[in-house]
Amino acid sequence: MKNATSAVKRPLLPVVGWTVPESILACVITAVLLCTPTIAQQEGAPELTPEASQAIDRGLKYLLSTQNKDGSWDSNGKGEHAVAITSLSLMAFMSKAHFPGFGPYRDQLDRGMTWLLTEAKKRPDGYLGKVMYEHGLATLAFSEMWGMCRDPEDDDAIQKALEKAVEVIVRSQNPGGGWRYQPQADGGEDTSCTMTVFHALASARQAGIVVPNETIAKVVGYLKNVHDAETGGFAYNYRGKMRFPCTAGGAYIAQLAGQRDTEMVNAAIRNLKSQAPGIFTGAQYFCYGHYYAIQAMVQAGDEEYAKWYPQIRDALISKQNAQGAWGTVNQSGGVSYEAPMAIIILATPHRYIPIYQR
Mean pLDDT in each 10-residue stretch from start to end of the chain (358 residues)?
34 30 40 41 74 98 97 95 98 96 94 98 96 98 93 94 98 98 96 98 97 98 96 93 95 98 98 96 93 98 97 98 89 90 98 91
In this predicted model, what pLDDT tens digit does every residue of 7-51 receive, in sequence order? 334 433 232 222 333 433 344 344 434 343 434 544 557 899 999
Q: How far apart are CA 150 and CA 139, in angstroms?
A: 20
- What CATH number does domain 4-356 carry, 3.40.630.10, 3.20.20.70, 1.50.10.20, 3.60.20.30? 1.50.10.20
pLDDT value for 44 = 59
pLDDT value for 150 = 85
Paired residues of 234 in beta bridges: 227
Residue 196 contacts residue 135 (beta carbons within 8 Å): no
In this predicted model, what pLDDT tens digit does every residue of 256-276 receive, in sequence order? 999 999 999 999 999 999 999
Can you list the alpha helix ranges (DSSP code H) found in 211-322? Answer: 213-226, 244-254, 263-274, 278-281, 286-300, 302-319
End-to-end CA distance of the chain: 27
pTM equals 0.88
Q: How far apart are CA 312 and CA 303, in angstroms?
A: 15
CA 346 from chain centre, in angstroms, equals 13
Q: How far apart are CA 76 and CA 342, in angstroms?
A: 18
DSSP code of residue 205 = H
Domain ranges of the chain: 4-356
In this predicted model, what pLDDT tens digit does every residue of 124-158 receive, in sequence order? 999 999 999 999 999 999 999 999 888 899 999 99
Paired residues of 235 in beta bridges: 242
Taking alpha carbons only, the member of 293, 329, 340 closest to residue 87 is 340
